[in-house]
Amino acid sequence: MTKDMMPNFALFQPTTVDDAISLLSKYEEKSWKLSGGQDSYDWFKDRAKKPEVIIDLNDIDELKGITEFENEIVIGASTTLSELEGNRIINDNFSLLSDAASRVASPQIRNAASIGGNLCQDARCWYYRAGLDCYRAGGNTCYADTPEGMNREHCLFGASRCVAVSPSDCAAAIVALDATIVITGPGGEREVKAEDFFIGPDINIERMTVVEQDEILTSIKLSKKWAGAEFYFEKVADRNTWDFALVNVACAKIIEDNIFKDLRIVLGGVSCVPMRLNACEDIARESPKDDETISLASSIASRGATPLNYNHFKIPLMENLVKRALRT
Amino acid sequence: MLDDLKNIKNHRFNRRKFIKNVIASGAVISSGGYMLSGCSDNSAPISGSVERLIVLKVNGKDRPVDVMQNETLAMTLRYKLGLTGTKLACDRGECGACTVLLSGTPHNSCSTLTHSVRNRDITTIEGLEQEDGTLHPVQQAMIDELGPQCGFCTPGQIMSGVALLNKNPKPTREEARQALSGNLCRCGAYDHYLNSIMRASRIS
C-alpha cells in the first residue's frame, strides 16, 4: 500500500525565526509549522490535512537550548522532551516538568518531539483524527458526543460542541509552574501566561492555542518562584508507553510548618485545556496539610463535571489523583 | 440440478479469478518502485525550498541520494539505499520496528523527514557489525539468548538496546525495560529481548 508516502509538499528549512515568519506570512493558510513532526506526520499520512508548504523549524538555533538566568529559566521551543528529561537545570529546579516529559509517548518519540510541539499539538479525538467533518474540522456535528459515540477519553468540563481534551502531559506541568510562553510573529514578540495560552472550543473550535497562523512559539519562561517547590506528577493511561493520559495531575506546593503556603493543581485529560483547580487550591491554601483539608479539597475537584456515556470513571479518578497530589 | 451445478462451477471460477486478480494487483502495489513513482513530484519545485540531491552519512559512509521533500528516512533507507534491515510496520511511530540511531539516539525513521537529518550520523542495523563480520555484542547476545521469535521487530529492538548500552553500559533490568519500551513485539518475546540486552551488557 502507499500508506508510507505523505502527499507532496514543498519543504523549507529556514535558519532564523524572522525567515520562518516571513515564509509563514507569504504562504499563509497553505503553510504548516514543523518541529519534531510527531503530531504533523500522522495528519499528512492520513491525508487528513494537506498543507502545500512545510516550514521545518529544526535548523533555527535561536529555538534551541535551556538557559538559566537570575530569576527565570528559558527553554527554547525546539528543545526535545529527552533533553528536558535529562537536563540538570530542569531537574534541579522544576523536576515536575522533567517528570511530565519523561512520561510522554515512547523513548523514540521523546527523542524527536519538541516541547513547543508538545504544547501546540492538536486534539487527539479519533473521530477528528480520522479526518471526519466534525465541528473542529469545520463541519456541523460531533461524532464523539452521541449515544453510540466512543467517548471514554473525552472531556468532563468545558465542552462546547467539541468534547476533545487537552492531550499534552507537559501542558499540565507548564500551567502548574505558572510559566510564560513567548510567541513571535510579524509584529515582534508577545508573552502569554500558560493559563491563557490554551484555548477551548468556546473561544476557537479549530485551534488549541492562541498561536496565530503566522506566529511561532519561540520559548517558555519558568519563573523561579516555584523552583525547588514540592512537586507531584502522575499520569494515568491505558499503557505506560505511547498512550495519552486518561487523566494526569501536575501539582506544585510550597509547604511550611505543615501548612500549604501556596499551591497550584492542574489536571490534564479532563477538559479541552489544562484545567487549574482554583477551588481546591483555595481550600488548601493556608490550611494544615492533614486528612481533613485533603479530603475536603479533593472532594470538590470534580464539581460541575458533565460526564459523557463512557467517561464517568474519570470523576473518581481525578478526585483520587488530587488527593494523592496533595498528600504526597 | 444441472443448472445449479453449472452455477456453482461458474461461481467458483469467478471467485478464483477474482482472488488471482487481487493477488496480482497486491504484488504491484507492494513494490517499492510503485510507491515512490506514484508520489514523485513532477511539478516544478517552489524556489527556496530544499534541494533534492543530498549526501547522507549512513553507517559512517557518505551516501549521495535523490530525496523527495516529503520522504521519510525509512523510505530513503529501504528503497533508495537498499538498507532493508530497517523494517517498516505501523508507519506511525507506534511500534519502533523502524528504529535507527541519529547521532547515537534512537528515532523512529518512519517519523523522520530525511531532509531534516542531512547533518546527522545515521546508524542502521547494517552498520553495527565490524568490517570482519564480527557481530555487535547486542546482536550476538540476541542469537545466544534466542531473543527473537519471528524476528520482524528485532532490528528495532537491537537499535534501542545498542543506544542504551552506549549511554549506560551496565543498566539494570528495569532501565533496559524502559529503554526498550518504545518497541512493540507481537510475539511477546519481551523477556527474551531483555535477557539478550542484559547478556550483552555483561559481555561487552
Question: How far A225 CA sits from the closest chain B CA (Å)?
Answer: 33
Chain A CA closest to residue B28? A1
CATH classification of the domain holding A23: 3.30.43.10
Question: How far B204 CA sits from the closest chain A CA (Å)?
Answer: 23
* Short-list A209, A132, A129, A155, CA closest to B94: A129
pLDDT score recorded for residue A74: 98
- Order of strands across the sheet with A10-12? A10-12, A53-56, A31-34
Residue with cell 570482519: B132
Angle at the Cα of A102 from the Cα atoms of A96 and A103, rounded to 5 degrees: 95
Whether B116 and A111 lie within 8 Å, measured CB to CB:
no
pLDDT score recorded for residue B14: 52
What are the cell numbers at B175? 532501565
pLDDT score recorded for residue B49: 87
Give how far Cα B2 sits from Cα of B5, B9, B10, B11, Å: 5, 11, 12, 14
| B192 close to B145: Cβ distance less than 8 angstroms | yes
Whether B112 and A82 lie within 8 Å, measured CB to CB:
no
Percent of chain B with pLDDT over 70: 78
Does the CB of B120 have a partner CB in chain A at under 8 Å? Answer: no
Write down the domain spans for chain B. Answer: 53-127, 137-203
Name which of A2, A37, A82 is nearest B111 (Cβ-Cβ): A37
Residue B105: list chain A partners with CB under 8 A: 82, 111
* pLDDT > 80? residue B1: no
| ipTM entry | 0.93
Does the CB of B99 have a partner CB in chain A at under 8 Å? Answer: yes
Residue A2: list chain B partners with CB under 8 A: 29, 34-35, 38-39
Question: How far B163 CA sits from the closest chain A CA (Å)?
Answer: 11
Is residue A99 situated within a structural domain?
no
Tell me the pLDDT tens digit for each residue of B14-55: 544 544 444 443 343 344 444 554 454 545 668 888 999 999
Tell me the pLDDT tens digit for each residue of B120-173: 999 999 999 999 999 999 999 999 999 999 999 999 999 999 999 999 999 999
- Amino acid identity, position A52: E
**Model confidence band, residue B3 (pLDDT cutoffs 50, 70, 90):** low
Residue A106: list chain B partners with CB under 8 A: 93, 96, 181-182
Question: How far A77 CA sits from the closest chain B CA (Å)?
Answer: 17
Does the CB of A42 have a partner CB in chain B at under 8 Å? Answer: yes
pLDDT score recorded for residue B48: 84
Residue A6: list chain B partners with CB under 8 A: 70, 72
Is residue A269 situated within a structural domain?
no
Within 216-255 of A, beta carbons closer than 8 Å to B belong to 240-242
Pick the CATH number of B53-127 from 3.10.20.30, 3.40.50.620, 3.30.750.210, 3.40.50.1220: 3.10.20.30
Is residue A283 situated within a structural domain?
no
Alpha carbon of residue A297 to chain centroid: 24
**Angular region, A52: left φ>0, alpha ψ -120 to 50, beta rest:** alpha
Whether B182 and A2 lie within 8 Å, measured CB to CB:
no
Rg (C-alpha) for chain A, rounded Å, is 20
Average model confidence (pLDDT) across chain B: 85
pLDDT score recorded for residue A4: 62
Tell me, yes or no, if the two domains B53-127 and B137-203 fold the same way: no
CA gap A177, A175 in Å, rounded: 5
**Model confidence band, residue B8 (pLDDT cutoffs 50, 70, 90):** very low
Question: How far B141 CA sits from the closest chain A CA (Å)?
Answer: 22
Q: Indicate the length of chain B as a whole number.
A: 204
How many structural domains compose chain A? 1
Whether B107 and A108 lie within 8 Å, measured CB to CB:
yes
Beta-strand ranges (E) seen in A155-244 are 180-185, 188-193, 216-223, 230-236
pTM of this prediction exceeds 0.80: yes
Residue B41: list chain A partners with CB under 8 A: 8
Q: What is the CATH number of domain B137-203?
A: 1.10.150.120
Chain B CA closest to residue A106? B182
Chain B CA closest to residue A41? B111
User: Which residue range forms the structural domain that includes residue A13?
Assistant: 2-59
Is residue A83 situated within a structural domain?
no
Does the CB of B160 have a partner CB in chain A at under 8 Å? Answer: yes
Whether A41 and B115 lie within 8 Å, measured CB to CB:
no
Chain B CA closest to residue A27? B46
Give how far Cα A219 sits from Cα of A189, A191, A222, Å: 10, 10, 10
- Amino acid identity, position A38: Q
pLDDT score recorded for residue B38: 46
Q: How many CB pairs under 8 A join A and B?
A: 111
pLDDT score recorded for residue A163: 97
Chain A CA closest to residue B79? A4
CB A196: neighbour CB atoms within 10 A?
Answer: 13
- Amino acid identity, position A24: L
Is residue A153 situated within a structural domain?
no
Residue A107: list chain B partners with CB under 8 A: 106, 160, 178-179, 181-182
Whether A112 and B111 lie within 8 Å, measured CB to CB:
yes
* pLDDT > 80? residue B114: yes
pLDDT under 50: residue ranges of chain A: 1-2
